[in-house]
Amino acid sequence: MHDLRVGFSYLVQGQRWVARHGKQFGVGLIPGLITLVLYLGALVALALWGSDLVTWATPFADDWDSPWLGLFRGFLTVVLFALALLLAVVTFTAVTLLIGQPFYEKLSESVDRDVSPDGTAPESGLSLWRELVISGRDSLRIVFRAAAWGVLLFALGFIPFVGQTVVPVIGFFVTGFFLTEELTSVAMQRRRVEVRDRLRLLRARKTLVWGFGTPLALAFVVPFVAVFLMPGAVAGATLMARDLLGEQTGDGDGEDESEGHGQGQGQVRGGSVTW
């Protein structure tokens, strides 16, 4: 319960940080707005033609009697849209971070400088194009993992009662985990922490991750909310990354108000994670 509260406090602190830094907040909205337009177009297209897709995919049901044919295909259409929405929530952050890499890098660096005792921020030393390639590669790895979970949860959704109650709850926790991985990657990549090590750090403190990511996943179901929360989510994830890596936080605007800050599971030494 302690780590859940701490994780949520990072989310709140991130939103407070961007509220105090209006310029960073305004610039951070641009990538989210671009991604929102793209995703809304895709979801609207699925809403309009999803039933046709289900009909094409289930020719074996053409001869079923009414009302079973309508109920079956209607259920599949709803599940298909729900799965698409889940994947949209999971991948929204990855796509937005990829589009807004330069914006969010700058925001994350500003948070680091603000809370670091010596006023400095780690730098990767890589060119922008190299960072974009690494970010895109790592995002694809995470999206594939998230998609595998999505397919599993989609299949479990057919189980009566459990599929309509337990599975959606699990889905939000899974989504929250992957959202947190994507958001912390902005700060982690500047520290040259590889995706495998990032996942290891996050798995070691799942309750901390869920406290941060699960409320965010619930909020991200509403597209406009996702856009406005993204800058603060990046800021909060930077604070969480410092905690996970055991970095000391000073008394800047982003001062951590939670207990246990800076007592993460690892730290960066020489470009890699050690425990």
Q: Is residue 137 part of a domain?
A: yes
- Is residue 178 situated within a structural domain? yes
Does residue 218 fall inside a structural domain? yes
Q: Is residue 74 part of a domain?
A: no
pLDDT given for residue 271 in this prediction: 39
Q: What pLDDT is stored for residue 255 in this prediction?
A: 46
Mean pLDDT in order along the chain per 10 residues (275 residues)? 89 94 86 88 88 87 83 86 78 79 87 87 67 67 74 78 81 88 88 86 92 90 81 94 83 46 42 37
Q: Furthest-apart CA pair in the chain: how many Å?
A: 73
What is the model's pLDDT at position 257? Answer: 43
pLDDT value at residue 139: 66
Amino acid at 226: A
Number of domains comprising the chain: 1
How far apart, in whole angstroms, are the C-alpha atoms of residue 110 and residue 150? 35
Q: Is residue 58 part of a domain?
A: no
CA dist., res. 272 & res. 257, Å (int): 28
Cα four-point dihedral sign 121, 125, 129, 134? negative
3-state SS, 199-235, equals HHHHHHCHHHHHHHHHHHHHHHCCHHHHHHHHHHHHH
Residue 211 placed within a domain: yes
Q: Which class for 156: exposed (0-12), middle (13-18), buried (19 or more C-beta within 10 A)? A: middle
SS3 content of the chain, % helix, strand, coil (to 5): 75, 0, 20
| 142 assigned to some structural domain | yes
Instruction: Identify the CA nearest to 191 among candidates 177, 179, 201.
Output: 201
- The pLDDT assigned to 208 comes to 94
- Indicate whether 44 belongs to any domain: no
pTM of the full predicted structure? 0.71
> Which structural domain, as residue segments, surrounds residue 206?
2-39+86-245
Phi-psi region of 158 (alpha: psi -120 to 50; beta: other; left: phi over 0): alpha
